[in-house]
Amino acid sequence: MVPGEVVRQRPLARMPGDEAMRTADFLYPDDLEVTRTDIRRVLIIGSCNALSFENYLKRHAKDTVVELWPRNHVADLPPEPPSAPGSYDFHFIQIPLRSLIADSVIDFKGFADRAEPVLQRAKIALRHQLEASLAYNRAFGILSFVANFPVPQRPAVCAMRQAGQPADLRWVVQQLNDELARLIEVYDNAFVADAEQVGAAVGKRYFQDEMLNFYTHGNHWFPVERAYDVAEYHNAPQPGRLDPLPLLEDVYESRSDEVFEALWRQCVAMVRVVHQVDSVKMVVFDLDDTLWRGQIAEHYSDGGNWPVFHGWPTGLWEAVHHLRARGIITALCSKNDAGLVAQRWSRAIPAQWLTPDHFVFKEINFEPKAQNIERMIRQASLTPASVVFVDDNPVEREAVRAALPGLRTIGANPYVTRRILLWSAETQVLSLTRESAQREAMMVQQQERELERGATSRADFLAGLGCRVGLRVLGGTTDPRFGRSFELLNKTNQFNTTGVRWTHTDVVEFFRQGGRMIVFEVEDRFSQYGLVGVILYRCGHFIQFAMSCRVLGLDIETSVINAILHSEAAGTDRFSADVVKTDANMVCRGIYAQCGFGRDPMKPGHFTRSGAAIAPPAAHLAMDWTDAGATAPGAAGPLRAGDVEQRRFDFGRTDGVVIARITLGTGGRLQGYRHSNEDSWGIQDGRLVFLNERGEITTMFRDVVREDGSLRMAGDFLLGSAVRHVLAEVS
């Protein structure tokens, strides 16, 4: 290659019949996408791979402002990112593998004896690098994706028997990926970007540079690297080698752009999952040529040779169970004889792999499918926009779409149905809350409740319901209930007073400005509905109220507002609230008027009222108010340093894992255990706290109980919502 020579990248090779399926489309289907996700600004933090990713995005994501902060080691980031923290959709972080493993493994002789120390040092380096790289995530709550590490394609061993063992460098990298997933779990609003998965799907041979470079380099190779051997501007020897060098892309095919395309699509998909954009709450399945091959009436008769079930039908049956596990409601809608379907079901789906009992709603009759599905949507308190209908018949799909605008349909090609249902961002959940896990059972119990409602008067029904409502104020984004509360805010459409969708950064700022997130849980003699409502409240103003429609009509919504008014009346004599009309929120537009608020004639959608003459909650409801920081019976009062100094505790997590036995030494020293996140201890606001090496509080033990003279404390790890620490005193 000479100066000015055009470097060409060979067009992506395709197998016959694969022309339309790029890796990005394969891994991250967009068939269920309705709302476009515009990524306005991202910050990429990292080394060589980060630079290559930035170059790709500047060429292909031209509507996105892409900023790069080069970083190779543990150097601290500046106090603030290059642009306003709230302007970023996310940060993408790439930690160089070479900065963890270092160059000591280049001399590979005797690596088997050094593998374990190399791994342990790399884990320590990874923890420090992650802490430094996620500084903006901790400070501003910015959504962050951290790429994992490319695993070498071939065993890197001295002898074949060592493949897959600790003496294999591949094994070391795999362990680091596991460690990254474990470490990132404790960070709030941070997730692993699975670059390893993308590489495996594209094919690592098409981009990973280990056939040319150090194993630990972990970078992409590019055809331009041939210039190092031939270009004068690289001081290449002239006239050069005896045998002329071929173009590098004629030796190895390059698909780096395909990797970056899929990695970008993964990031966009994760943004959609975090914000629950176009999320699916119910999937309705047809039967014939959808859940099984052929028609139940024609092809599964007595003594017949039934169609085989191998292939896509079995995959779809499993997909139903995965949807159920995510809290997505599954239902059946088929034009068939219900008795015949029940009689022949086990012929079409053998071995009890899938039964009618696995579906919450079942409409098997000869009524119009749109009518049946509309009834199911109403019973589930959903909107058509959150429902997907799977049917092989294009006429039925079109009829349902026409009757229920916003509903999505698929099913024309059984070879892609499973992939769409399982891999689309719209069917993923950010975290599996208790409410999501129990949604199927609650739907069944709700149907039982509605049957009883129709058989008695409303007053008698409510009086006998035994309904209890528990209110509480969340302590922040690290509260274990925050995930479900955030989900309600961003997924609820019908009972949502403004319809505003919040980012994690928005909520962090809301808390910083003195906002309070008031949530409530509901149970009755039929079911425990879990956390079903969330109110954003600040200084006498009701900013937003979102509630699951599963408990609508029980007078809970007005009683909750009145309970808050009673609680806050001593501190303010004037309350206000806002309602923004959306296409779906008709059921809640009058909620504040029902609670004594009057419309502001000068400001549409704004309501006000005084703090006097507040109505009590409904008589049939048992209301229980537990404010954040309130202590339970038997809880200890404020602590002083002398109450805990020189006392020994088992330090662990609420999942039962004991990390270490420690002593709270004098002067704030922790004895018996030290970690960058648990470097010292102190007392703040009457509660024990752990501090990191920079003096920042990482755990506050808010819950303190004395049991037989011994202290037991629990508190949230403030760098992430997934961990809750426990201290149990050792006598």
CATH topology (fold) of 23-275 = Rossmann fold (3.40.50)
Q: Give the DSSP H or E segment for 530.
A: strand 528-538
Residue with tokens 């959609």: 272
Residues whose CB falls within 8 Å of the CB of residue 612, separated by 6 or more in sequence, listed in order: 569, 573
Integer angstrom CA distances of residue 652 from 517, 598, 649, 660, 723: 28, 52, 9, 7, 10
Task: Sort strands 467-473 and 144-147 into parallel, antiparallel or unpaired.
Answer: unpaired
* Residue 611, pLDDT above cutoff 60: yes
Is the fold of 282-427 the same as that of 441-626?
no
Q: Per-residue pLDDT averaged across 185-192, rounded?
A: 88
* Residue 513, pLDDT above cutoff 90: no
Distance CA 349, CA 317 (A): 9
Across the chain, what does the average pLDDT equal? 87
Task: Sort strands 658-664 and 648-653 into parallel, antiparallel or unpaired.
Answer: antiparallel
* Residue 146, pLDDT above cutoff 60: yes
Q: Which two tokens stand for residue 79?
A: 């106090």
CA–chain centroid gap for 230, Å, is 48
Name the residue ranges covered by the structural domains of the chain. Answer: 23-275, 282-427, 441-626, 641-729
Tens digits of residue pLDDT in 461-485: 788 888 999 998 887 787 778 888 9
* Residue from 440, 412, 203 nearest 420 by CA: 412
Higher pLDDT, 509 or 56: 56
Tens digits of residue pLDDT in 362-417: 999 999 999 999 999 988 888 899 999 999 999 999 999 999 999 999 999 999 99
Residue pair 469/621 in contact by the 8 Å Cβ criterion? yes
Distance CA 562, CA 468 (A): 15
* Residue 635, pLDDT above cutoff 50: no
Distance CA 480, CA 552 (A): 25
Percent of the chain having pLDDT more than 70?
91
Residue pair 218/49 in contact by the 8 Å Cβ criterion? yes
Q: Give the DSSP H or E segment for 446.
A: helix 439-454
| Half-sphere exposure at residue 551, Cβ-oriented, CA atoms within 13 angstroms | 28
Bridge partners of 471, per DSSP, are: 520, 625
Tens digits of residue pLDDT in 278-323: 999 999 999 999 999 999 999 998 877 889 999 999 999 999 999 9
What is the structure's pLDDT at 191? 96
Bridge partners of 516, per DSSP, are: 537
Where is average pLDDT lowest: 65-74, 420-429, 573-582?
65-74
| 434 pLDDT tier (thresholds 50, 70, 90) | low
Integer angstrom CA distances of residue 504 from 90, 378, 524: 11, 31, 32
Residue with tokens 């342990």: 120
Bridge partners of 195, per DSSP, are: none
What is the structure's pLDDT at 437? 64
Which long-range contacts (C-beta less than 8 Å, at least 24 apart) are formed by 178-184? Answer: 179/123, 179/126, 180/126, 180/130, 180/146, 180/148, 180/149, 181/148, 183/126, 183/127, 183/130, 184/130, 184/146
DSSP output for 377-440: HHHTT--GGGEEEE-S-HHHHHHHHHHSTT-EEE-S-HHHHHHHHHHSGGG--SS--HHHHTHH
Residue pair 298/287 in contact by the 8 Å Cβ criterion? no
Residue with tokens 């150090």: 214
* CA 570-552-610 angle, 5° bins: 25
| 17 pLDDT tier (thresholds 50, 70, 90) | very low
With respect to CATH, is domain 282-427 assigned 3.40.50.300? no
* Residue 632, pLDDT above cutoff 50: no
What is the structure's pLDDT at 719? 74
What is the structure's pLDDT at 331? 96
Distance CA 251, CA 681 (A): 59
What is the structure's pLDDT at 2? 32
Residue pair 266/28 in contact by the 8 Å Cβ criterion? yes
Distance CA 465, CA 449 (A): 9
Q: Which two tokens stand for residue 624?
A: 């229980």
Distance CA 615, CA 610 (A): 12
Number of H helices, E strands in the chain: 24, 26
Question: Which residue blocks in 231-283 are alpha helix, DSSP H?
Answer: 248-251, 256-275
Dihedral sign, Cα of residue 516, residue 692, residue 76, residue 144: negative
Higher pLDDT, 701 or 455: 701
| Half-sphere exposure at residue 137, Cβ-oriented, CA atoms within 13 angstroms | 24
Distance CA 148, CA 328 (A): 29
Residue type, 608: T
What is the structure's pLDDT at 9? 36
What is the structure's pLDDT at 454? 62
Residues whose CB falls within 8 Å of the CB of residue 380, separated by 6 or more in sequence, listed in order: 281, 282, 329, 360, 361, 443
DSSP output for 360-387: SEEEEESS-HHHHHHHHHHHTT--GGGE
Q: Is 660 exposed, middle or buried, given 0-12, 13-18 or 19+ CB atoms closer than 10 A? A: middle
Distance CA 536, CA 517 (A): 5
CA–chain centroid gap for 240, Å, is 54
How big is the chain by its Cα radius of gyration, in Å?
Answer: 30
Bridge partners of 675, per DSSP, are: 678
| 714 pLDDT tier (thresholds 50, 70, 90) | confident
* Residue 3, pLDDT above cutoff 50: no
Where is average pLDDT lowest: 157-171, 466-480, 631-645, 651-665?
631-645
Q: Per-residue pLDDT averaged across 502-531, rounded?
A: 85
* Residue 7, pLDDT above cutoff 60: no
* Residue from 415, 334, 406, 413 nearest 377 by CA: 406
What is the structure's pLDDT at 602? 87
Global confidence as pTM: 0.73
What is the b/e burial string over 229-239, where b = at least 16 CB atoms within 10 angstroms of the residue's CB? ebbeeeebeee
CATH classification code of 441-626 = 3.40.630.30
What is the structure's pLDDT at 455? 61
Where is average pLDDT lowest: 106-110, 184-188, 354-358, 368-372?
184-188
Q: Which two tokens stand for residue 490?
A: 């961003």
CB count in 10 Å sphere of residue 177: 18
Residue with tokens 């501190």: 571
Q: Per-residue pLDDT averaged across 696-719, rounded?
A: 79
- Phi-psi group of 453: left, alpha or beta (phi > 0 → left; psi -120 to 50 → alpha; rest → beta): alpha
